[in-house]
Amino acid sequence: MIQTFNTKNPIIGVVHLLPLPTSARWGGSLTAVIERAEQEATALAAGGVNGIIVENFFDAPFTKNRVDPAVISSMTLIVDRIKNLVVVPVGINLLRNDALGAMAIASTINAQFIRVNVLTGIMATDQGLIEGNAHELLRYRRELGSDVAILADVLVKHARPLGTPNLTTAVQDTIERGLADGVILSGWATGSPPSLEDLELATAAAKRTPVLIGSGANWDNIGTLMQAADGVIVASSLKRHGKITEPIDPIRVAQFVEAAQEISAFKEKSKSEQPLKLTS
């Protein structure tokens, strides 16, 4: 995580793309999609985020696995353009769960990370049952000779597990059996934060693997949530008026980054002031 984002506690802003070709709400102009994406990426970078992730968020309703080739082509073009605009690491989330497509794009244009909603296990979603594909994804990354980091959701939002695994088991399986480079914990839906208790459980289960907040963070709760997390992915609270359909607001970005950095600095200071423990 430190190597990818050059910080122990990364703040990752999200660019929600307008509908892409073949999606239900496709507007007919890829130029319009690109222009808004570039504006939002620039606003996020100027506000001080440590990374940016690009999602085909407004393509809903989503296909559960492989997306259309036109979406792959569009995402490749857009993410490559964003990478040429900003100096922070850029990643991809290809919704709902096209991990192979995301890995292909990232490896081709040298993006640094991807987000995978379901890496292990089976989740019941509004797209149907989505099965984890860790074996196929990890093998594909090796075949591509890629070092793209895999950030994987645990008990992802807008979904329910098939069966009732507890959070600790889910985190351990995602890391130890799915080989995720980092795990993401969200609330039950977009804009809903995870509880501090769940973050503490996830961090304990993850051991040295980073745990990121995946939804619902804002400058009011980030001080509490970051006590138990290693980083955050943030979208809704950075939009104008906090509305998911609005574009990124640079002022809200700066406010959030300042609040998150304050708690990160406090955590580092607290660690440095702890007495050295010697073992006999």
Q: What is the pLDDT of residue 276?
A: 35
Backbone angles phi, psi at 114, to 5 degrees: -130, 155
Contact 53, 12 (CB under 8 A): yes
Q: What is the pLDDT of residue 47?
A: 94
Q: What is the pLDDT of residue 160?
A: 83
Please identify which residue in the block is written with the tokens 């900003």: 86
pTM above 0.85, yes or no: yes
Helices 30-47 and 250-273 cross at an angle (nearest 10°) of 40
**Coil/strand/helix, residue 161:** strand
Between CA 76 and CA 81 the distance in angstroms is 9
Domain ranges of the chain: 2-273
Q: Beta strand 90-93 with 51-55: parallel, antiparallel or unpaired?
A: parallel
Helices 30-47 and 69-83 cross at an angle (nearest 10°) of 40
Between CA 48 and CA 132 the distance in angstroms is 33
Cα–Cα nearest to 148, from 178, 105, 87, 206? 105
Q: What is the pLDDT of residue 268?
A: 63
pLDDT (tens digit, 0 to 9) for every residue of the chain, 280 residues total? Answer: 557 888 889 999 999 999 999 999 999 999 999 999 999 999 999 999 999 999 999 999 999 999 999 999 999 999 999 999 999 999 999 999 999 999 999 999 999 999 999 999 998 988 999 999 999 999 999 999 999 999 999 988 787 888 767 899 999 999 999 999 999 998 887 778 999 999 999 999 999 999 999 999 998 999 999 999 999 999 999 999 989 999 999 999 999 999 998 877 766 665 544 443 333 2
Is the Cα dihedral 258, 202, 209, 97 positive or negative?
negative
Q: What is the pLDDT of residue 60?
A: 95
Q: Where are the beta strands (DSSP E) in 99-216?
A: 113-116, 122-125, 128-131, 149-153, 159-161, 182-185, 211-213
Find residue 153's DSSP bridge partners: 184
- The residues near 29 (Cβ < 8 Å, ≥ 6 apart) are none
**Coil/strand/helix, residue 253:** helix
Cα end-to-end distance, the chain, whole Å: 32
Top CATH class of 2-273 equals: alpha beta
Cα–Cα nearest to 187, from 162, 223, 157, 227? 157
